[in-house]
Chain A
């Protein structure tokens, strides 16, 4: 069975709790036996870049603030250091450097100096590369997954982009759905 099938099935077994990340299973199955926390480190500038990167994935829209406001700039590197094995941390860090080199080559400036449109363009390239590589772990894939995970777990994501209902108090399994009604933040 391939991993995406496995993910879908695992998600199904857990009821409706489908993981929003396409890599939930992947990064858990990559665990190495030794403790490899904090294999790579990130600078303040890296965090700034990741915040901007995440904000292209999930930008501010009419309904809600985006990933940068939700704190993804700090969340992503924290997750990489705490929750990923060294091998994956390296893939992430190298991919980040690689993107930097591509920015310089294609646009003659770094990611933070690029316009939104230029950022979208380079990220579309990274996305296409990831698809061409059959979604093998890459900087783009991991950063995007963590953006989705972190954003929709954040207070902004839960309470603005979606609707958060901590104590429903009752269950209605045939409630009316109005077109455009937001999804519940938790399952």
Chain B
């Protein structure tokens, strides 16, 4: 008896945070700083800041395969190899697809990383606020459910998140892209400056171009070093110069001495207590030993990434929640969204042959959404923004001509003759109920768990928007004096933007949403979900900053409610 009681006591915390990525790290920081003893569970390996970024300081010649993947890697990572992020220098961040399969009713590229820090180590770092246009679009055009919050509810939390994370950028007073608390912006290069000036003049400031707002430090911040302009962020930053769990939230949480991190802990389900009608804790499978164990807490924050969290909730069935925890609305697993991109235009900039770059800026330019506002009307709903940039690359026509010899080598040793400039659209996808995930019990992962099945596709609204994403880009480049402008559409499948969201949406009405305006489950008051799954719509901006703000806000609420005895 004593042993069991001790074990239960030993495995009991004030709060459990499931996942250690961007939102999980924030939850751990906020909850520990507010005095809670927190257990953070991570399904993958531990990654120690700096020490475990083995490839970060490697020179190009230290990679055996010059960055390329082997046939063996391709065989064990059939999904991760569908796009560029998985390569020789970053291979440790990406999952072995054979160990954790899923079912694709339609093609869905699911990029995953199982390790402490999650995708905070591999993210693109672009950090944009949502505006009231975004929070109101669902209510206005009737797609999806109304957001239960507006900009004024989240604005102070954006301030809070930006001040801690360190976001560099330029305030622009653009209604669709609210300003924030930024570190000094990175510089545009000479071509980008010229394009910016000409676009803004041509469109009379009805379109603007700004430097990307990025979670890379341009000055030292909170004890972290500033960006060294190596453009090797994807390997992990030894200077701590971009926001990650390791560089920012984890040290803050550890400093409280109230955080316990347990790697290799796969949360299989949340344990429901029918008497209290609350979550009692979680059941964990040890990823190394396959041993199962339980942990208990007063509140559970679910931050396992959109589809990871949704799997856990769908798999947390009980008599009271036969279709998954908190799923009386039937919305859990539905309304899956991702940004659509990989189309735009590019061309060459002439007249800058006497200019080059010094340093490698891991950032580009941003043109915030300007469609379907004011007098701008389109034949589709919502809109898109552009990311892009100019560079003087290494391309020489002799490469394609199959040239060889001394002259060829000489030209290959020089930068390209001209600069190129491109704009790639990032478009909003509407929430569609029928775009969904569910549990497929016919397949098992390495640990004997059933897998997720994904049934998701872009539809007509997205297809129409892509036309404009190409044509507007070409038009703006041409108006900027860019030559040889060509449009492209490289095809896009959901998942590719790695911005999957929406499968446990927030809303005021428990009948059509899973979470309330505090990211708290309508039906199970001590469960909070603050990763991308909570999003009723996805706007066209990169979402991680919004996850940070929502998480901090939800933690503040949860602790207050806990102290009041309401949870």
Known: A9-B490, A15-B389, A171-B186. A83 touches B402 (CB 8 A): no
Q: Which residues of B contact A185 (CB under 8 A)?
A: 60
Interface residues on B, range: 35 or more
Interface string of B343-358 (1 = CB under 8 A from A): 0001000000111111
Please measure, in the bound complex, the distance between the C-alpha atom of A36 and the C-alpha atom of B186, giving whole angstroms.
Answer: 46
Is B75 in contact with A174, judged by CB distance below 8 angstroms?
no
Q: Within the complex, which residue of B78, B393, B406, B488 is in contact with A16, where a contact is CB–CB below 8 Å?
A: B393
Interface residue ranges of A157-187 to B (CB < 8 Å): 158, 161-162, 164-177, 180-187
A137 at the interface (CB under 8 A from B): no
Tell me the dominant secondary structure on chain B's binding face: loop
Least Cβ distance of A173 to chain B in Å? 3
Q: Which residues of B contact A59 (CB under 8 A)?
A: 405-406, 409
- How many A-B contacts if CB must be within 8 Å? 202
Interface string of A1-36 (1 = CB under 8 A from B): 100111001101111111010100000100101111
Known: A33-B75, A36-B71, A168-B229. A127 touches B393 (CB 8 A): no
Please measure, in the bound complex, the distance between the C-alpha atom of A120 and the C-alpha atom of B81, giving whole angstroms.
Answer: 37
Known: A9-B490, A131-B402, A158-B61. A186 touches B70 (CB 8 A): no
Q: Within the complex, which residue of B71, B187, B190, B393 is in contact with A37, where a contact is CB–CB below 8 Å?
A: B71
Is B229 in contact with A169, judged by CB distance below 8 angstroms?
yes
Q: Which residues of B contact A43 (CB under 8 A)?
A: none
Of A44-52, A94-102, A105-113, A143-151, the one touching chain B:
A143-151
Please measure, in the bound complex, the distance between the C-alpha atom of A167 and the C-alpha atom of B229, giving whole angstroms.
Answer: 7
Of B33-41, B276-284, B309-317, B414-422, the one touching chain A:
B414-422
Q: Which residues of B contact A168 (CB under 8 A)?
A: 228-230, 358-360
Q: Within the complex, which residue of B59, B188, B409, B415 is in contact with A161, where a contact is CB–CB below 8 Å?
A: B409
Is B357 in contact with A155, judged by CB distance below 8 angstroms?
no
Is A171 in contact with B413, judged by CB distance below 8 angstroms?
no
Please measure, in the bound complex, the distance between the C-alpha atom of A4 and the C-alpha atom of B401, giving whole angstroms.
Answer: 12
B139 at the interface (CB under 8 A from A): no
Least Cβ distance of A38 to chain B in Å? 9
Q: Within the complex, which residue of B192, B356, B393, B422 is in contact with A181, where a contact is CB–CB below 8 Å?
A: B356
Known: A120-B405, A158-B59. A83 touches B71 (CB 8 A): yes
Is A58 in contact with B230, judged by CB distance below 8 angstroms?
no
Q: Within the complex, which residue of B60, B186, B391, B490 is in contact with A15, where a contact is CB–CB below 8 Å?
A: B391
Please measure, in the bound complex, the distance between the C-alpha atom of A54 and the C-alpha atom of B93, giving whole angstroms.
Answer: 34
Is A83 in contact with B409, judged by CB distance below 8 angstroms?
no
Interface string of B415-451 (1 = CB under 8 A from A): 1100010101000000000000000000000000000
Please measure, in the bound complex, the distance between the C-alpha atom of A36 and the C-alpha atom of B391, giving whole angstroms.
Answer: 38
Closest B residue by C-beta to A66 = B409
Please measure, in the bound complex, the distance between the C-alpha atom of A61 and the C-alpha atom of B404, giving whole angstroms.
Answer: 13
Q: How many residues of A contact B (CB 8 A)?
A: 78
Is A57 in contact with B404, judged by CB distance below 8 angstroms?
yes
Least Cβ distance of A58 to chain B in Å? 5
Is A61 in contact with B406, judged by CB distance below 8 angstroms?
yes
Please measure, in the bound complex, the distance between the C-alpha atom of A31 and the C-alpha atom of B59, giving whole angstroms.
Answer: 28
Q: Which residues of A contact B360 (CB under 8 A)?
A: 168, 171, 184, 186-187
Q: Which residues of A contact B320 (CB under 8 A)?
A: none
Is B414 in contact with A173, judged by CB distance below 8 angstroms?
no
Least Cβ distance of A61 to chain B in Å? 5
Closest A residue by C-beta to B403 = A127
Is A56 in contact with B405, judged by CB distance below 8 angstroms?
yes
Is B405 in contact with A31, judged by CB distance below 8 angstroms?
no
B400 at the interface (CB under 8 A from A): yes
A63 at the interface (CB under 8 A from B): yes
Please measure, in the bound complex, the distance between the C-alpha atom of A21 and the C-alpha atom of B401, giving whole angstroms.
Answer: 12
Closest B residue by C-beta to A162 = B413
Least Cβ distance of A183 to chain B in Å? 4
Is A35 in contact with B71, judged by CB distance below 8 angstroms?
yes
Q: Which residues of B contact A34 (CB under 8 A)?
A: 75
Is A130 in contact with B342, judged by CB distance below 8 angstroms?
no
Please measure, in the bound complex, the distance between the C-alpha atom of A58 and the C-alpha atom of B67, giving whole angstroms.
Answer: 20
A93 at the interface (CB under 8 A from B): no
Q: Which residues of A contact B229 (CB under 8 A)?
A: 168-171
B63 at the interface (CB under 8 A from A): yes
Interface string of B187-216 (1 = CB under 8 A from A): 111101100000000000000000000000
A118 at the interface (CB under 8 A from B): no
Please measure, in the bound complex, the distance between the C-alpha atom of A121 and the C-alpha atom of B457, giving whole angstroms.
Answer: 53
Please measure, in the bound complex, the distance between the C-alpha atom of A182 and the C-alpha atom of B190, giving whole angstroms.
Answer: 19
A41 at the interface (CB under 8 A from B): no
A84 at the interface (CB under 8 A from B): yes
Is A148 in contact with B412, judged by CB distance below 8 angstroms?
yes
Interface string of B375-394 (1 = CB under 8 A from A): 00000000000000101111
The winner among B68, B71, B186, B188 for most chain A CB atoms within 10 A is B71
Q: Which residues of A contact B188 (CB under 8 A)?
A: 173
Known: A4-B400, A31-B74, A173-B187. A15 touches B364 (CB 8 A): yes
Is B405 in contact with A169, judged by CB distance below 8 angstroms?
no
Please measure, in the bound complex, the distance between the C-alpha atom of A140 and the C-alpha atom of B422, giving whole angstroms.
Answer: 32
Q: Within the complex, which residue of A12, A20, A127, A180 is in contact with B346, where a contact is CB–CB below 8 Å?
A: A12
Please measure, in the bound complex, the distance between the C-alpha atom of A183 and the C-alpha atom of B342, giving whole angstroms.
Answer: 28
Closest A residue by C-beta to B487 = A9
Is B404 in contact with A37, judged by CB distance below 8 angstroms?
no
Q: Which residues of B contact A169 (CB under 8 A)?
A: 228-229, 359
Least Cβ distance of B101 to chain A in Å? 14
Least Cβ distance of B396 to chain A in Å? 9
Q: Which residues of A contact B228 (CB under 8 A)?
A: 167-169
Please measure, in the bound complex, the distance between the C-alpha atom of A98 and the C-alpha atom of B358, giving whole angstroms.
Answer: 46
Please measure, in the bound complex, the distance between the C-alpha atom of A16 and the C-alpha atom of B61, giving whole angstroms.
Answer: 20
Interface residue ranges of B238-289 to A (CB < 8 Å): none
Q: Which residues of B contact A161 (CB under 8 A)?
A: 409, 412-413
Closest A-B pairs by Cβ, 6 of them: A173-B189, A16-B391, A168-B359, A174-B190, A171-B359, A177-B356
- 16 CB-based A-B contacts, threshold 8 Å: A9-B342, A10-B490, A22-B400, A31-B71, A57-B405, A82-B72, A83-B69, A127-B404, A152-B412, A153-B63, A153-B66, A168-B228, A174-B189, A175-B357, A177-B353, A177-B392
Known: A61-B406, A161-B412. 13 other contacts (CB 8 A): A10-B490, A20-B394, A22-B402, A28-B69, A31-B75, A35-B71, A57-B404, A57-B405, A61-B409, A66-B409, A166-B230, A173-B188, A181-B414
Chain B interface (Cβ < 8 Å from any Cβ of A): 57, 59-61, 63-72, 74-75, 78, 81, 84, 186-190, 192-193, 228-231, 342, 346, 353-361, 364, 389, 391-395, 399-400, 402, 404-406, 408-410, 412-416, 420, 422, 424, 488, 490
